[in-house]
């Protein structure tokens, strides 16, 4: 006879586990939990193994090494075997095109284009020595507040055992970058709040190709070289290691060309800011000057923009620049980036500048780079026609002609002349008459400025 079950025995665990449906469910749940546990365990173990076995290096776009690494990655590389060549040759490339206008004497010249191939976004694998390197180039959705451009990084990953490979990669990338810039001058300009190379590095301009009045060039070059040899002197005396030059005079007299050539001579770059440029403010200027790229001449063009009051600025067509005089002085006096600073200020309107600018460390040397003198015209003739005009008689003829036209400050009757011409105009005349000395002499009248009034 069946004994009636009490409620306690009804809920006893034995009864539940004896129930095949319940027991099956528990079994399945346990298997699921074990699988989930194992998966988590595997992920953790994989993460741990990854951390232990792999090593990463991350380079952000702000780092100077970023373009070097991209250039290094785009190098063609040979790999043994089909499979290896598949994975060590980057197939997904992106292109950066830079176009530059060659600057002519009167107007912008033709356009040059150059293309720089670099690895596209995504993952790639390359080989360096015996090590395989996983490369991931990523663009983030957040923007760099200084430039407004999206954040970008390149991440290199390799096995822990090959971690020293990174040093080799960076050294090689740097060597490649240095080689690409050999004999070239890098020009930087402000992009947002950061310095960025302006187009490709330019071929160094020889100092001899810039013709300033007798002794002017030599005096600046000697002064800069002397300054560069005296770092210890400044440091010992606790004086900021800075020197400033102000070049003033009419446009087309060779101010920018000279600074470019001087940078080439010293193996420096040029970091340039136009003070009348739209959007240039005191804060931005001060910030940029604290972050000057290393080994660069600082070129502050149109320095007078900081001295013009807003009404005059509008009348002169300045477009939204708002650097003030005190802003310029603060920027020049501000915290230096550590190394030497050589600043060149240029202006076409010396009369607008404030004498407070002329202080050691701000402007130490002031030079007028003016209209073409007889000396300069003669030197330029020699550079263009020196080989053909052996006796120099054509040159005499040309210079006499310029004298007759009153282009060197005196009229033939001995009265002062204010007809002057620029070295840029003389260069233009010679370029128009390449290998045609007589043509240059016959067209000399064209050197009289068009807007000249007697």
Q: Sort 7 into a burial class: Cβ within 10 Å, 0-12 / 13-18 / 19+.
A: exposed
* Side-chain half-sphere exposure of 244, counting CA atoms within 13 A: 18
Is residue 252 part of the contact set for ligand ADP (CB under 6 A)?
yes
CA-based max dimension of the chain: 151
CA pair distance 136, 283, nearest whole angstrom: 36
CA pair distance 244, 333, nearest whole angstrom: 11
Shortest approach of ligand ADP to residue 299 CB, angstroms? 10
Is residue 427 part of the contact set for ligand ADP (CB under 6 A)?
yes
Which residue lies nearer to ligand ADP by CB, 210 or 297?
210
CA pair distance 444, 145, nearest whole angstrom: 54
Is residue 257 part of the contact set for ligand ADP (CB under 6 A)?
yes
The 95-134 contact track toward ligand ADP, x by CB under 6 A, reads: --------x-x-----------------------------
Shortest approach of ligand ADP to residue 288 CB, angstroms? 21
The 192-231 contact track toward ligand ADP, x by CB under 6 A, reads: ------------------xxx-------------------
Shortest approach of ligand ADP to residue 220 CB, angstroms? 13
Which residue lies nearer to ligand ADP by CB, 158 or 257?
257
Q: Which of 424, 429, 440, 447 binds ligand ADP (CB under 6 A)?
A: 424
The enclosing H or E element of 102 equals: strand 93-103
- Please identify, among the stretches 20-28, 29-37, 251-259, 401-409, the one whose residues bind ligand ADP according to the rule CB under 6 A: 251-259
Q: Which of 32, 64, 215, 251 binds ligand ADP (CB under 6 A)?
A: 251
Q: Sort 353 into a burial class: Cβ within 10 Å, 0-12 / 13-18 / 19+.
A: buried
**DSSP structure string for 3-69:** PPPPHHHHT-HHHHHH-HHHHHHHHHHHHHHHHHHHHHHHHHHHHHHHHHHEEEEEEETTSTHHHHH
- Please identify, among the stretches 183-191, 249-257, 386-394, 403-411, the one whose residues bind ligand ADP according to the rule CB under 6 A: 249-257
Q: Which of 407, 443, 418 is nearest to 428 (CA)?
A: 443
Which residue lies nearer to ligand ADP by CB, 211 or 286?
211
Is residue 347 part of the contact set for ligand ADP (CB under 6 A)?
no
Q: Which residues bind ligand ADP (CB under 6 A)?
A: 103, 105, 210-212, 251-257, 423-424, 427
């Amino acid at each position: 006879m069946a004994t009636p079950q009490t409620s306690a025995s009804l809920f006893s665990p034995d009864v539940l586990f004896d129930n095949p449906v319940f027991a099956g469910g528990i079994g399945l749940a346990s298997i699921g939990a074990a699988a989930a546990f194992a998966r988590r365990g595997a992920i953790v173990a994989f993460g741990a193994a990854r951390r232990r076995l792999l090593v990463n290096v991350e380079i952000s776009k702000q780092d100077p090494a970023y373009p070097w690494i991209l250039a290094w990655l785009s190098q063609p590389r040979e790999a043994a075997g089909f499979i290896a060549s598949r994975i060590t040759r980057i197939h997904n490339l992106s292109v950066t095109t830079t176009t530059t206008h060659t600057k002519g004497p009167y107007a912008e010249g033709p356009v040059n284009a150059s293309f720089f191939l670099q690895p596209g976004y995504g993952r790639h694998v390359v080989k360096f020595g015996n090590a395989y390197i996983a490369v991931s180039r990523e663009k983030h959705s957040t923007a760099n507040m200084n430039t407004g451009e999206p954040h970008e990084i390149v991440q290199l990953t390799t096995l822990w055992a090959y971690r020293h490979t990174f040093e080799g990669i960076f050294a090689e990338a740097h060597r490649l970058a240095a080689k690409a810039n050999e004999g070239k001058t890098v020009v930087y300009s402000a992009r947002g709040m950061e310095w960025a190379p302006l187009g490709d590095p330019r071929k160094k301009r020889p100092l001899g190709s810039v013709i300033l009045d007798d002794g002017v060039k030599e005096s600046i070059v000697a002064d800069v070289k002397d300054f560069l040899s005296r770092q210890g002197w400044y440091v010992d005396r606790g004086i900021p290691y800075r020197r400033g030059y102000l070049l003033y005079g009419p446009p087309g007299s060779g101010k920018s060309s000279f600074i470019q050539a001087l940078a080439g001579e010293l193996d420096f770059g040029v970091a340039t800011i136009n003070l009348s440029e739209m959007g240039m403010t005191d804060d931005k200027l001060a910030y940029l000057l604290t972050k000057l790229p290393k080994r660069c001449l600082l070129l502050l063009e149109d320095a007078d923009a900081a001295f013009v009051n807003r009404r005059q600025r509008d009348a002169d067509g300045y477009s939204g620049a708002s650097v003030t005089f005190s802003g310029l002085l603060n920027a020049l006096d501000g915290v230096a980036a550590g190394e030497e600073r050589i600043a060149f200020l240029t202006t076409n309107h010396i009369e607008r500048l404030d004498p407070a600018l002329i202080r050691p460390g701000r402007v130490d040397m002031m030079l007028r780079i003016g209209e073409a003198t007889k000396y300069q015209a003669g030197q330029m003739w020699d550079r263009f026609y020196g080989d053909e005009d052996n006796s120099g008689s054509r040159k005499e003829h040309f210079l006499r002609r310029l004298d007759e036209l009153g282009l060197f400050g005196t009229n033939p009757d001995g009265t002062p002349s204010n007809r002057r011409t620029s070295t840029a105009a003389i260069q233009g005349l010679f370029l128009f008459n390449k290998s045609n000395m007589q043509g240059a002499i016959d067209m000399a009248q064209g050197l009289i400025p068009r807007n000249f009034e007697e």
